[in-house]
Amino acid sequence: MLPAGCAPALQQATSTPVSTPTSPSPTVAPTETPIPTDTPIPATSTPTPQPLLLRRSCARDYVVRADEPIQLFYGGWGVLGKQLADEWTTALTVELTIDGQVIPGKAQPPLPDLPHNCPKDSEGSYWLHSTAIISGLSSGRHDATVAFNVLRPLPDGYGGNYVPGQLAKQTFRITAQ
């Protein structure tokens, strides 16, 4: 099979008589024409983003490869039970800033475990978190902040009752090498 746009030049045999030249022609060796193949052309690849979970109970200092994409998981807020977690999805806002710049992210559905979670979890907990992908960080130290805000009063199922306002503000240091 030939790639699209690479139709071979075919000549059909005809029954038209061909006159024979009277003088001998020099013999010409046939040249081989390479046949295109279906070998895929390698695409320029983008590095797979480095996963990084910003969670204060796991660490405050993180190291990533400089100038490479990073998939950030942040805002891990745990509550007891799926039903309560679903209520929190409409009441919790989380803002991530790196070096003072707001990083837009996307809230994820509640999960029984955080992606790339450190081994600190409670039975029956569900986690609310957000994700963002950034193109990378330049070499050096970068300060990240995750701010949690609740829009209406809600319990967490563990005995805590939260009122509207800021729940927590966590800071992290990310070193890109």
Q: Is 83 helix (H, G, I), strand (E, B) or coil?
A: helix
Residue range 50-176 forms a domain whose CATH class is mainly beta
User: DSSP state, 89?
Assistant: T
Chain-centroid distance, C-alpha 58: 22
**DSSP SS3 for 130:** strand
Q: What mean pLDDT is predicted for residues 105-112?
A: 94
* Residue 168 scores a pLDDT above 70: yes
pLDDT at position 113 is: 86
Measured CA to CA, the distance from residue 88 to residue 82 in angstroms comes to 10
Is the pLDDT confidence value at 85 over 90? yes
